[in-house]
Structure 1
Amino acid sequence: MRVARLVFLGGTLCASWGALAYRGPVDTPAVSSKFAATAPLLAIARAGDRLVAVGLRGHIVYSDDEGKSWTQARVPVSSDLVAVTFPSPKNGWATGHEGVVLHSGDGGATWVKQLDGRQAAALVARYYAGSTSSAADADFARAARQATAVVAEGNTQALLDIRFDNENSGFAVGTFNRIFHTDDGGKTWEPWMHRTDNPRELHFYSISSDSRNTYLTGERGMVWRLDAALKRFVAIPTPYTGTLFGLLADGTDLLAYGMRGSLLRSGDGGKLWEKLSPGTTAGISGGTVLSGGRIVIVTQAGEVRTSGDRGTTFDTRKSAQPMPYYGVASAGQGKLVVVGATGAKVELLP
């Protein structure tokens, strides 16, 4: 209404729509709302004793009482946020649409923007234009062509997941083979698009790690493992051809999950895979491993399923008021906190 009143004042044209500066989501802080914890939330992580969840329109909320109550964080963007990670109780990162990367140094209460899609596009263009890598390197040439196209089209590609193993070293990954690495806590980022076995530029949906390895999952049933010596993500095919949304790793034991109830297990680091039957045809959208090794997965049909035998069999619990679930975290004492289409809520373990 305020903008509309600027158009005409006393019959005189005072301003036009074209003269008004447009502020996009990456330049507009998230709106404060008492409903932030009941709006769509897409990911959750532990920050020490605190839980932090992220969602649409830049909403970030945190809880210091295992999900009973929530406080909205101060966030400098209103972009949709889809992933969050905390390698320590104080330092965490979040990412999402418009290629944003956010950092918090106080356990998720306040956030600053470290990167957005416009900056990333320019960074990638400079990197591949000025690198001394051989032009004969097919992966490098492909990444350079993609960088040129992104800048020319004005695109800001989404980042779909982020992972830091400590307060310095981390990766942000996303659509069309988008991947960035940092060794200084996100102050600077290096493009790694030429360091992946991904000639079709498939989307990366997740990045996860254990004490030994780091993995990506993506389209067409693909998994990639980081070869630390080569500084390259090496492809690991699976017997599945759909999208894999995530992967739980514990040494050589891997559990990859995705669309239509797809669940794959490998006991040898990805050399051989077996298809499991979790008892659902709904998309498996999140998972975690509890202390003691119990596996928890959540689905887009509002199911919480747990397994104590490495995924061979599952117990299930469906809420009286289910919603599509997108993320899950342990809340201790036989409880979980799940996030989804109607925010965050506490669920009992099956």
Structure 2
Amino acid sequence: MRKIALCCTFCLFTAGAVAAAAANMLLLGAAHSNAGIVAVGERGSILVSTDEGESWRQVAAPTTATLTALSFAPDGERGWAVGHDAIILQTQDGGRTWTQSWQGENLEDSFLDVCAVDATTVLAVGAYGFAMRSDDAGESWHPLSPQDDDSHLNRLTRAPDGRLYLAGERGTLLRSEDAGETWDPVPTPYDGSFYGVLPLQSGALLAHGLRGHAYRSEDDGESWSPVETNSESLLACAMETRTGTVLLAGQARTLLQSKDDAQRFAAPSAVPAPATAFLVETSAGRVLAFGEGGARFLTLANDE
């Protein structure tokens, strides 16, 4: 039986009470807004930090469903969070307050990611091909069909040039050049699950997924080269710091670091929480990991 992406795997491991300090909470997504850093997770948890992740406070949410991801419009005020029970929430004040934007009739549907493409266009994707689109900043939603099958759609990424990349199971990699109106398949040498595509500052792409698989492309996905990770773990998330360090993180205490544009990875001496779902860089250049251990700072090789 297929897993509903990383969040359901995490749910098997966590049983702690929700704590505003974000020390033992399951957190699955985070993003910067005008209010600070906003994180979402289990049981409808929404946390806001106004001091770059040093402390957190919990804000009210109109749901108890697990929230898996969030994204903010360019203004940093309007944002959307998605999760289980086919729920989409919205905020107009940077994440300080939230209301329900939309909920599907089938509560077994789950959203796994959301992307605010621009000021008005928002895409939400999830398990078994479930996807919705709004062209009016969340006032209304309509079904989106990036592809014909029911593969899980795990992660949406917007590149600096506006292109969108969608990663999913069964080797699914899709690309859109028209804000998600149409999608083209990107051939890859891997038929397992991808959990994300990271556009690098150099223009290269890094795709990552199950069992330590990672691939790098220098021609916008026309060809791919395998990247040696020396890992068998699910690589759930990736990010590139402002100084060009590329990070991969995921299950089984996996944290990998590259200093050469994602061509080679090695593990720094410090490791994150047992499972990491998302990474965010603060304005001061520190890296926050979100996952089973709540929100915590990572120590990278250049920090020592």
TM-score band w.r.t. shorter chain: 0.7 to 0.9
**Quick check: 1:255–1:266 contact (8 Å CA) kept in 2?**
yes
Give the 3 Å change call, closer, same or farther, for CA 48–82 of structure 1 in structure 2: same
Query: What's the CA shift for 1:336?
Result: 0.8
Q: Which residue of 2 aligns with 1:303?
A: 254
Q: Does 1:208 align with 2:157?
A: yes
Q: Does 1:192 align with 2:144?
A: yes
Q: Does 1:74 align with 2:60?
A: yes
Q: Does 1:173 align with 2:104?
A: no
d(CA) in 2 for partners of 1:344, 1:325: 9
The correspondence of residues 119-130 of structure 1 with structure 2, limited to 5 A, is: none
From 173, 182, 185, the equivalent of 1:235 is 185
Residue segments in structure 2 that go unaligned for 5+ positions in a row: 1-16
Query: What's the CA shift for 1:80?
Result: 0.6
Amino acid aligned to 2:122? G
d(CA) in 2 for partners of 1:37, 1:89: 26
Give a deviation string over 1:52-83, Cα, whole Å, max 9, x none.
11101000111111211001011000001111
Give the 3 Å change call, closer, same or farther, for CA 155–61 of structure 1 in structure 2: closer
d(CA) in 2 for partners of 1:41, 1:230: 27
Give a deviation string over 1:173-205, Cα, whole Å, max 9, x none.
112222221111111112122xx3x33221111
TM-score w.r.t. the length of structure 2 is 0.86
d(CA) in 2 for partners of 1:288, 1:228: 24
Q: Which residue of 1 aligns with 2:238?
A: 287
d(CA) in 2 for partners of 1:229, 1:222: 18
**Quick check: 1:278–1:311 contact (8 Å CA) kept in 2?**
no
d(CA) in 1 for partners of 2:126, 2:176: 16
Q: Does 1:98 align with 2:85?
A: yes
Q: Does 1:115 align with 2:128?
A: no
Give the 3 Å change call, closer, same or farther, for CA 347–242 of structure 1 in structure 2: same
Query: What's the CA shift for 1:308?
Result: 2.3
d(CA) in 1 for partners of 2:279, 2:194: 17
Give the 3 Å change call, closer, same or farther, for CA 308–71 of structure 1 in structure 2: same
**Quick check: 1:259–1:284 contact (8 Å CA) kept in 2?**
yes
Q: Which residue of 1 aligns with 2:278?
A: 327
**Quick check: 2:273–2:292 contact (8 Å CA) kept in 1?**
no
The structure with more helix, counted as a fraction of residues: 1
TM-score w.r.t. the length of structure 1 is 0.75
d(CA) in 2 for partners of 1:284, 1:213: 23
Q: Which residue of 2 aligns with 1:347?
A: 298
Query: What's the CA shift for 1:347?
Result: 1.5
Residue segments in structure 1 that go unaligned for 5+ positions in a row: 1-30, 119-153
**Quick check: 1:37–1:61 contact (8 Å CA) kept in 2?**
no
d(CA) in 2 for partners of 1:318, 1:244: 26
Q: Which residue of 1 aligns with 2:26?
A: 40
Give the 3 Å change call, closer, same or farther, for CA 244–257 of structure 1 in structure 2: same
Give a deviation string over 1:25-51, Cα, whole Å, max 9, x none.
xxxxxx975455521111111224711
Give the 3 Å change call, closer, same or farther, for CA 32–314 of structure 1 in structure 2: closer
Partner secondary structure for residue 265 of structure 1: strand
Give a deviation string over 1:236-284, Cα, whole Å, max 9, x none.
1211111111111248521111111111111111110111012322111
d(CA) in 1 for partners of 2:34, 2:174: 29
Q: Which residue of 2 aligns with 1:162?
A: 114
**Quick check: 1:303–1:319 contact (8 Å CA) kept in 2?**
no
Give the 3 Å change call, closer, same or farther, for CA 37–74 of structure 1 in structure 2: farther
Query: What's the CA shift for 1:165?
Result: 2.4
Q: Which residue of 1 aligns with 2:11?
A: none
Amino acid aligned to 1:208? T
Query: What's the CA shift for 1:227?
Result: 4.2
d(CA) in 2 for partners of 1:280, 1:265: 16
d(CA) in 2 for partners of 1:49, 1:36: 17
Give the 3 Å change call, closer, same or farther, for CA 349–86 of structure 1 in structure 2: farther
Partner secondary structure for residue 267 of structure 2: strand
Q: Which residue of 2 aligns with 1:244?
A: 194
**Quick check: 1:263–1:276 contact (8 Å CA) kept in 2?**
yes
Q: Which has the larger radius of gyration?
A: 1
Q: Superposition RMSD on alpha carbons, in Å?
A: 2.2
